[in-house]
A and B are shown apart, each in its own frame.
Chain A
Amino acid sequence: MNFCKKNILIRYKVSVLLFKMSLNRPLSPHLSIHKKVLTAVFSIFHRFTGICLSLGGILLSVWIILIALGPSFYSKFQTLSSLIFFKIFLFLWTLTIFYHLYNGIRYLFWSYGKMMDLSTVYKSGYVVIILSILSTMLVWISI
């Protein structure tokens, strides 16, 4: 009788544990457990740059709000933008924009099932890096 009770208790505890585990199940891209291959690194960076750029989008709307508010508010932005820290930030922003843009074009081709064989995937990945560095350099030389 005692043994039977214990058995039921264990079964109950296991089912509670399984239920709790099902609530806290890890989701699709298991970042920490897989070996980092180039395509995965590109995908992670695409998402990371995407998060950074969405903060950039909010900053862009703050910029347009400051322009609308008038010169006294905009001068605050100008004192900030004259700092060297802000220039470095803008440089990284440019690099991020171009990386996300070119890699996004690559993903658009993938959405149509084009350029998906392994050698093209790797080659276009290197093209993305080279193009984004070249475009960033072009922008900062012309400024």
Chain B
Amino acid sequence: MKNYASKWIMQRLTAVILIPLTFWFVYQCVILSSYEYDQIRTFFFSKINASLFFVLIMSMLYHAKLGNDTIVEDYVTSHNLKIITKLIISTLTYTSMILTTISLFYIISS
């Protein structure tokens, strides 16, 4: 029970974090859409941009994981299928998180 309550709170917390960051990122995407590769890379050289993007993508992926888990719990009846789907969701989430972190650090340090 405690676990579900903390998940519920985390979903709301990540949602609140994502509200301003989504507006920021959509605004940046409008600018980035006309940029070439080197200009996009220099966008991430800025410490503020890189850390905001990091927070955005981490809370987005975690929020997505919590949401998808809830959907699976609500609609998937078969116990085995539920476990398999949840396993796929968490694998995709954590792989994306790790690879994004490595890529961002690589971009910043280069």
Contacts and interface: CB of A to CB of B under 8 A. Distances in A.
A45 to B, nearest CB: 13
Nearest to A48: B71
Contact of B96 (A50, A57, A108, A111): A57
Contacts of B3: none
Interface in B52-110: 53, 57, 60-61, 64-65, 67-68, 71, 73-79, 92, 96-97, 99-100, 102-104, 106-107
Interface string A106-143: 00100100000000000000000000000000010011
Contact of A139 (B16, B30, B40): B30
Interface residues of B, number: 40
B17 to A, nearest CB: 12
Interface in A95-115: 97, 101, 104-105, 108, 111
Contacts of B77: 24-27
A104 B64 CA distance: 13
Contacts, number: 90
Q: Which DSSP category, helix, strand, loop or mixed, fits chain A's interface?
A: helix
Contacts of B73: 27
A133 B19 CA distance: 17
Contacts of A143: 30, 33
Interface of A: 23-29, 47, 50-51, 53-54, 57-58, 60-61, 64-65, 67-69, 71, 74-75, 78, 94, 97, 101, 104-105, 108, 111, 139, 142-143
Interface of B: 12, 15-16, 18-19, 22, 26, 30, 33, 37-38, 40-41, 44, 53, 57, 60-61, 64-65, 67-68, 71, 73-79, 92, 96-97, 99-100, 102-104, 106-107
A-B CB proximity, top 7 nearest: A54-B64, A68-B103, A61-B96, A61-B100, A68-B106, A50-B67, A57-B60
